[in-house]
Amino acid sequence: MKQAITSIDAHSHPQFLSYDGDRDAVMSRLLESGTGVVAVGTQVSTSKQAIVLSEQYPDFVWAAAGFHPGHLRSDWYHDTNEQKESAQEVFNKEELRTLVRHPKVVAIGECGFDYYVRKDAEPLSAEEKMKQKEVFVSHMELSSEEKKPLMIHCRSAFPDLLAALHENRALLQGSDSGVVHFFSGSKEEADELLEFGFSFTFGGVITFVRDYDNLIKRIPIERLLPETDAPYVTPVPHRGERNEPAYVSYVIDRLAELKNLSTELSKEKFLENASRIFRI
């Protein structure tokens, strides 16, 4: 890891369409803050864009390549922050394998399960849930084959995530299986994931709600990482604005407060964690 990097945003999307108008300025602010970032793909197109960005800024940007479970849903939502085209991509494991093998790709994902029911929408069918499981296991297979950690998204689906991990435990990387981003599960679910070798990211939400305070205090510092999930979930004091990776500093401050550590020591710990998990 380059000496200039003093902190990390472990899950962000600076390659998204949302930044096309001022990406250079966003990346300049990130560099000035001394922050490295993992640019996370959500399908083939955005994974490719993450890799391109990591090549453009090789000293402080890394990439993750994967297929977000939300992109498998029949009620898939076209997010204009993410992509211009309204066409829904189709998962292709071999296409993803090619991306995962790029040397700047340090994690596989985001991948996982998303059962969240939007307002006035129907719950997912058993067939849709099975499709999400099949694609997640494909990511697990790639993780095992390519020896790179998983970057997991899980929303309203932790029992099925844990079941899939139990069924396919032999595919996990052991002590550093990957990261569960934007963790929203219970302490019991966190304990199980810790046993599987996962770490957890928390983002801007912890600066304006207290729902996760006790959970963060419970998780060992060695298993914590800060994220922004930019352009989403902007932290205080920038609520209402578009999020950006440099704002991870506010998340780090809050994590440090909850862990009763100095900001500087927390930064050091998080960098150590990122270096260990992502091998950067």
| CATH code at position 33 | 3.20.20.140
Tokens of 82: 């993410």
Quote the tokens at residue 211: 């729902």
pLDDT of residue 121: 80
- Say which residue, 24 or 76, is predicted with more confidence: 24
Which pLDDT score, from 0 to 100, does residue 1 have?
45
Whether 209 is covered by a domain: the verdict is yes
86 pLDDT band, cuts 50/70/90, is: confident
* Residue 3 scores a pLDDT above 70: no
Q: Is residue 2 part of a domain?
A: no
**What pLDDT does residue 119 have?**
81
What confidence tens digit (pLDDT) does each residue in 242-280 have? Answer: 999 999 999 999 999 999 999 999 999 999 999 999 999
Residues 50-69 pLDDT 10s: 999 999 999 999 999 999 99
SS3 1: coil
Residue 2 predicted with pLDDT over 50: no
Closest C-alpha among 138, 6, 11 to residue 62:
11
Q: What is the pLDDT of residue 128?
A: 97
Domain assignment present for residue 225? The answer is: yes
Residue 174 has a pLDDT of 87
Report yes or no: 65 and 96 within 8 Å, Cβ to Cβ.
yes
In a domain, 230, yes or no: yes
Provide the mean pLDDT of the chain.
96
Residue 1 lies in a domain: no
pLDDT given for residue 76 in this prediction: 86
Q: Token pair for residue 58?
A: 């090789």
Mean pLDDT of 214-224: 98
Query: Is residue 163 in a domain?
Result: yes
Q: Could you tell me the residue range of the domain that residue 180 belongs to?
A: 7-278
176 within some domain: yes
Domain count, the chain: 1
In the chain, which residue ranges form alpha helices assigned H by DSSP? 23-32, 44-56, 93-100, 126-146, 158-167, 187-195, 213-218, 248-258, 263-278
Residue 129 has pLDDT above 90, yes or no: yes
Residue range 182-208, pLDDT digits in tens: 999 999 999 999 999 999 999 999 999
Is residue 200, in this structure, part of any structural domain at all? yes
pLDDT number for residue 189: 98
Residue 159 — pLDDT band, cuts 50, 70, 90?
A: very high
Neighbours of 99 (CB within 10 A): 20
Q: Tell me the pTM.
A: 0.97
